[in-house]
Structure 1
Amino acid sequence: MLSYRHGFHAGNFADVLKHSVLTLVLDYMTRKEKGFSYIDSHSGAGMYQLEDKFSQKTGEYKDGIGKIIKDINAPESLMTYLNLIKQLNHDDELNIYPGSPGIAKEFVRRQDASHLFELHPTDNELLNNFCYRWKKSFIKQSDGYQGVLGLVPPPTRRGVVLIDPPYELKEDYPKAVNTIIKAYKKFATGTYILWYPVVQRHWVEQMQQTFTQSEVKNVLQVEYCQKADSEEYGMTGTGLFVVNPPWQLAAQLEEILPYLKSKLGNEESTYALTQLIAE
């Protein structure tokens, strides 16, 4: 299935959590001069126009990034992400929103490399256009899961891997976790970020169980839910598993999560931050 287009959802509450974490991880990686590889298994188009028919049809960004972009009192931990979005827009209007490649492009240096995978033919074309002048970015229209496994360990032995599937297929839940487990066996010091939606809680519980039964160490789980769990169709929350997180990430998220609840959520909203597996 290749029906999923992230343009419908760009800048929503799930993107706010995912991309704020990605921003903090990439910022940490650039504090050392030695190069690193950024590997993105499901890259999307790279950049999204919030005025196009996809974003306007759902308007999800209005209840996500749109609610916090101008907040000068946001926690310090969130400002790197918010400032990045502001700089990309160049004015007071929120017209564009970056996907994960768009965020990575703002951080990677000449000594770093980016490997981007996207199967959807239209988004792959848009991604190629977005990366046209981006040196050391490599785009492939191929299976991102296999792509990740073929690229670890990177030459510099420093890397960030983002696995962010659309979860159109139920197989994506176990496949995403097992890809990280396999990659970890080859490259145990890499940082892995796995995004997931909360649609039906049992899928998240299965992912947790698979991780805890594996040999993977140092897994931080963060989750923000707009609504209580439901068996009905639709995403009620979002979360991330972060393997080998930067040492200060947990403390940064302790600032970000209550802020997101206060600005984006309601009385039903909840958040959780758990060291799922110790170092």
Structure 2
Amino acid sequence: MLAYRHAFHAGNHADVLKHLVLTRVLRYMGEKDKPYTLIDTHAGAGGYSVEGRYAQKNAEYGEGVARLYDRKDLPAPLADYMSLVKAFNPDGQLRQYPGSPAIANFLLRETDRLRAYELHSTDHRILASYLESRPNTQVSDRDGFSAIKAELPSPTRRAALLMDPSYEIKTDYAKVLTALREALERAADTVVMIWYPQLQLLESTQLVQRLKASADAAAKKGWLHVRLTVAQADERGFGMLGSGMFIANPPFTLHDELAECLPLLVERLGQYDGANYVLEQKTV
């Protein structure tokens, strides 16, 4: 995990789905006057150059955010997310992609708290510099999974938790599941957002059912699951087919907002005729 750099993947189809969900959750939480806390367990560098050598290696953003950037017919939730990407590119050209801390920096109010965790030393330094002037913010180089006990319950009572590890180490699947259980045990109404890659691996295929079972037992407001499949595996069965987001205690508005956006995401981001999406929820 310490070798992982998100810059290679910045702005790809998985970022589009993840950051669309994050934008909608933070918009919803910001509608109430009371402040809230966002905990980002794998925050990355905050922003990424899509013109740099990392992003250019595979140019994954070209099959992700670049396919939406100049469109004028986006549904309102997608248009809102894309407006944040454009705000990160003040000259109008797609040169930089905002990571989750940058999206949070756009959407959190001064009274809202941000707790960002990043283990990679270089990315941690970049992130700390980027967020140094933001009030009510702490950037840590500690393990984000282990920080949940310290962060929840939050002093603000209202909290959102974003977990998007690289899953390059298979133990991340178990850690995500344990972290969800711990977060809901400590604060059962926390909005927990979990990103996962869609791979032909046992750990990946079993994860969602295990997350559902944990949320069924502990989440006050049920759960929502969305998956966007954009590609086929190669001849050896390898490759990322797509990705998903599992949200415990989702905003009640989120299902309909995603339903409005997903057909267009399949159309624009799909790389084969069988591209598809799944959207399901359980309410309490």
* Same fold flag (TM > 0.5): yes
SS state of the match for residue 227, structure 1? coil
TM-score (norm 2): 0.94
Match for residue 273 of structure 1?
279
TM-score (norm 1): 0.96
Question: Would you say 1:154 and 2:154 are equivalent positions?
Answer: yes
Q: Give the C-alpha shift of residue 178 in structure 1.
A: 1.4
Letter in structure 2 aligned against 1:113:
R
Instruction: Please state whether the residue corresponding to 1:139 is helix, strand or coil.
Output: strand
The Cα of 1:229 is off from its aligned counterpart by 5.7
Shift, 1:207, TM fit: 1.6
Q: After alignment, is 95-104 or 132-141 more displaced?
A: 132-141
| Amino acid in structure 2 at the alignment position of 1:216 | A
Cα distance change, pair 229–178 in 1 and its aligned pair in 2 (3 A): farther
CA apart distance, 1:108: 1.1
State percent identity of aligned pairs.
Answer: 38
In structure 2, distance between residues paired with 1:55 and 1:189: 37
Q: Equivalent residue for 2:50?
A: 50
The one-letter code matched in structure 2 to 1:86 is K
Secondary structure, counterpart of 2:218 in structure 1: coil
The code of the aligned residue for 2:223 comes to V
Counterpart for residue 221 of structure 1: 225
Residue 262 (structure 2) pairs with residue 260 (structure 1) = no
Does 1:209 find its partner at 2:209? Answer: yes
**Equivalent of residue 246 in structure 1, options 238, 241, 251:** 251
What pairs up with 1:68-83 in 2 under 5 angstroms?
A: 68-83=68-83
Q: Distance in 2 between matches of 1:259 and 1:93?
A: 22
Contact 1:201–1:229 at 8 Å: present in 2 too? no
Structure 1 residue aligned with 2:237, among 208, 232, 239? 232
Q: Aligned with 1:157: secondary structure?
A: coil
Whether 2:99 is the aligned partner of 1:99: answer yes
How many pairs align? 278
Name the amino acid aligned to 1:255. Answer: E
Aligned to 1:213, the other structure's residue is in SS state: helix
Which amino acid letter does the alignment assign opposite residue 270 of structure 1?
N
Provide the C-alpha distance between the structure 1 equivalents of 2:264 and 2:201, rounded to a whole number of angstroms.
Answer: 24
Q: CA deviation at 1:201?
A: 4.9
Counterpart CA distance in 2 for 1:20 and 1:212 is 21
Letter in 2 for 1:251: D
C-alpha displacement of 1:149: 2.5
Secondary structure at 2:226 match in 1? strand
How big is the shift at 1:206? 2.1
Preserved contact between residue 66 and residue 94 of structure 2 (Cα < 8 Å):
yes
| Aligned amino acid, residue 194 of structure 1 | I
Say yes or no: does 1:174 pair with 2:174: yes
Displacement after TM superposition at 1:205 (Å): 3.4
Q: How does 1:14-53 map to 2 (within 5 A)?
A: 14-53=14-53
Q: Which amino acid aligns with 1:226?
A: V
Deviations along 1:186-225, one digit per CA (max 9) or x if unpaired, are 1011100000001125323322232343313311110001
Structure 1 stretches of 5 or more lacking a match? none
Q: What is the alpha-carbon distance in structure 1 between the residues aligned to residue 9 and residue 149 of structure 2?
A: 28
Q: Which amino acid is the alignment partner of residue 76 of structure 1?
A: A
Q: Is 1:149–1:179's contact at 8 Å kept on the other side of the alignment?
A: no
Alignment partner of 1:103: what SS? helix
Deviations along 1:157-205, one digit per CA (max 9) or x if unpaired, are 1011000101111110121021011110110111000000011253233
User: For the structure 1 residues 64 and 212, does the alpha-carbon distance in structure 2 shift closer, same or farther, using more than 3 Å as the test?
Assistant: closer
Segments of 5+ residues of structure 2 without an aligned counterpart are none
